Amino acid sequence: MMDKGIKRARRVVRFTLNTTLGLVWLFAALGMVANPGVQPVTVWRLVPGLILLLAFSFLFLRVTRNILERRYPRGEIVTMGVIAIVLAVMSAGPAAWWSFTSYAWLSIAAVGVRRRTAVFQALGTFAVMAPLSYWGLVQTLPGADTATLVGVMVGVVFYSALMSSFLPWTNRLWVWMWRVAEEAHEGREAQARLAVAEERLRFARDLHDLVGHQLSAIAVKSELAVRLAGETPASEEMAEVRALARTALRELREAVKGYRELDLTAELASVRGVLEAAGITCRLMLPYRDAPGDTAPVFAWVVREAVTNVLRHSNATTCDITLRLTPGETILEVRNNGVRKDAGKDDGGSGLAGLAERLGAVGGSLTAEPDGKGGFLLRACAPSAAKPVLVAQP
């Protein structure tokens, strides 16, 4: 969930994108009152124009919201482009005023595409709207001399070039800044979740080592006291102490086990946020349902250790995490494209060895080695009875 700061930043960026829509209505209003003697406002021109402009505005607001959610609704954008052209041709006033609708369309159509596509969109808008705007202005200047027409043409070309270059790139910059802020926020949240998980593990370890050791000692001592006391009332009391100590020790171990187990789904979400915050594209290939209950916590540890190694020991730009459920086993693969010379080495040698031991406890195995193509592959297998169904998640 977004905090107040990131929500405020989102509102500011969306308001900035939608400001262009306000200018569309301003230019349309000016077009309806400009030179009424040359192009009088008639009902058959005004009503369809307002209806199309309302439809354009509705789609504009939807598209800006989708863009901030990392979606690019091509159908709606194409529809907006058609509406913009129709408004410029069949408008309630001079076409030069209504042509701004096309530049407003360009200002958001060029945001969710590659740079080369945005350049072609800008050039296409300029090529269509510059002649159309010039023609609209000429209609409002009957009897104008050649010098005036040349001046109008230069002005239209300058205006069209400015609108085709300034608006789309400004909005692309705003959206880029929003996405940087959003990714930084997601990275902080993921790091915070990982820090909480690490603290839970430390607490569980300390609790088991300190309190568990003392309870074990109490159970052993009380059992010895029962033997030494013989058949006396004191021995009965010590037997109860021994039973209580063993019960407390068993409950403590169960509680510690719950703290130490990781959730695979939550771990995947966390490491994905950490990787993307570090500038590494993370792609998940997951089955339609979760891994079996016995292997899921172990695989969560594998994911955490593998991603830690990616961050520490690679120059990766992409990291693919694949989970496959076959009739005989569950397979987890973590592959990155930035292998170093020290790939496969572990700090202190305990991380991967510990994972191999965990997998061995459930009958599984672990391999970690370069793939021969400039990447590194960590592969974990464990027995499974699941059916293989693989679905790509973007």
For the record, the structure tokens of 211 come out as: 């309190």
Report the mean per-residue pLDDT for the chain.
Answer: 75
pTM over 0.75: no
Q: Are 203 and 212 in contact (CB under 8 A)?
A: no
For the record, the structure tokens of 117 come out as: 């596509």
pLDDT of residue 213 exceeding 70, the answer is: no
186-200 per-position pLDDT tens digit? 666 666 666 766 666
Q: Are 259 and 199 in contact (CB under 8 A)?
A: no
Q: Are 236 and 249 in contact (CB under 8 A)?
A: no
CATH no. for 264-393: 3.30.565.10
230: left (phi over 0), alpha (psi -120 to 50) or beta: left
Q: Cα separation of 312 and 363, whole Å?
A: 29
Q: Which phi and psi angles does 66 have, rounded to 5°?
A: -65, -40
Q: Cα separation of 296 and 342, whole Å?
A: 29
Q: Which phi and psi angles does 159 have, rounded to 5°?
A: -60, -45
pLDDT of residue 211 exceeding 80, the answer is: no
332-388 per-position pLDDT tens digit? 899 998 776 554 444 434 467 777 877 887 888 888 888 777 788 899 998 864 343
132-161 per-position pLDDT tens digit? 777 766 666 666 677 777 777 787 787 777
**Lowest mean pLDDT: which of 33-47, 72-86, 183-197, 333-347?**
33-47
**Dihedral of CA 243/249/252/253: which sign?**
negative
**Count of CB atoms within 10 A of residue 172's CB?**
18
Q: Cα separation of 370 and 339, whole Å?
A: 7
Q: Where are the beta strands (DSSP E) in 288-364?
A: 318-325, 329-336
